[in-house]
Structure 1
Amino acid sequence: MILEQAILYIKQGESKTFEKTFGEARKIISSMKGFIKLDLLKCVEEIDKYLLLVSWETIEDHEIGFRQSSEYQEWKRLLHHFYDPFPIVEHYKSVF
């Protein structure tokens, strides 16, 4: 299993709209091959900051299967305009 992690900084004042839109976008990613689960966490200390965690079967499921799909274009259209700056996405695997 691979864990995708991204810290999302949302443009000031757009968090409520982002959360609603993310609810729509979640349907897209959860339908993709290799998707296991997703968690979107809201920061307690910073109102417009979120932590996105997505579990994938393989890194290829995320980077090729999802990111190179037509579904990703819709994900991008729905969400990418909320980010400032654009998030850095990293992948992790269990050590033990």
Structure 2
Amino acid sequence: MILEAAILNVIPGNETQFENDFATAGQYISVIKGYIKHSLHKCIEQPNQYLLLVEWETLEDHTIGFRQSPQYLEWKKLLHLYYDPFPLVKHYAEV
């Protein structure tokens, strides 16, 4: 299992709409081969910052399977306009 982690900095004032659109975007990621689950966490100290965690069976399920899919284009269309700066995404393996 691979854990994808991304800190999402949302343009201030757009948090509620981002959360609504993120809930909609879940339908696009959840149908991808190798997807296990995802969760979104809101930062307490900085309310426009979120932590996205996604579990994948393999790294390629995310980097190729999702990012090269039509579903990713829909995800991107819904969510990428909220980020400033664009998130840095990292992948982790359990030790």
Instruction: Place the TM-score, normalised by the shorter chain, in its bin.
Output: over 0.9
**TM-score normalized with structure 2 length:** 0.99
Please list every run of 5 or more consecutive structure 2 residues that lacks an aligned counterpart in the other structure. Answer: none
Q: CA deviation at 1:4?
A: 0.2
**Superimposed CA distance per residue, residues 38-58 of structure 1 (whole angstroms, 9 cap, x where no aligned partner):** 010000010100000000000
What SS does structure 2 have at the residue aligned with 1:65? Answer: helix
Q: Distance in 2 between matches of 1:69 and 1:38?
A: 18
- The one-letter code matched in structure 2 to 1:80 is H
Please list every run of 5 or more consecutive structure 1 residues that lacks an aligned counterpart in the other structure. Answer: none
Name 1:38's counterpart in structure 2.
Answer: 38
- Asked if 1:76 corresponds to 2:83, the answer is no
**Superimposed CA distance per residue, residues 20-48 of structure 1 (whole angstroms, 9 cap, x where no aligned partner):** 00000011101111000101000001010
Q: CA deviation at 1:3?
A: 0.1
**TM-score normalized with structure 1 length:** 0.98
**Superimposed CA distance per residue, residues 44-92 of structure 1 (whole angstroms, 9 cap, x where no aligned partner):** 0101000000000000000000001111011000000000000000000
Q: Distance in 1 between matches of 2:69 and 2:35?
A: 14
Q: Distance in 1 between matches of 2:31 and 2:43?
A: 26
What are the equivalent positions in structure 2 for 1:57-96 lying under 5 Å apart?
57-95=57-95
Deviant stretches of 4+, over 6 Å: none
Over aligned residue pairs, what C-alpha RMSD do you find?
Answer: 0.4
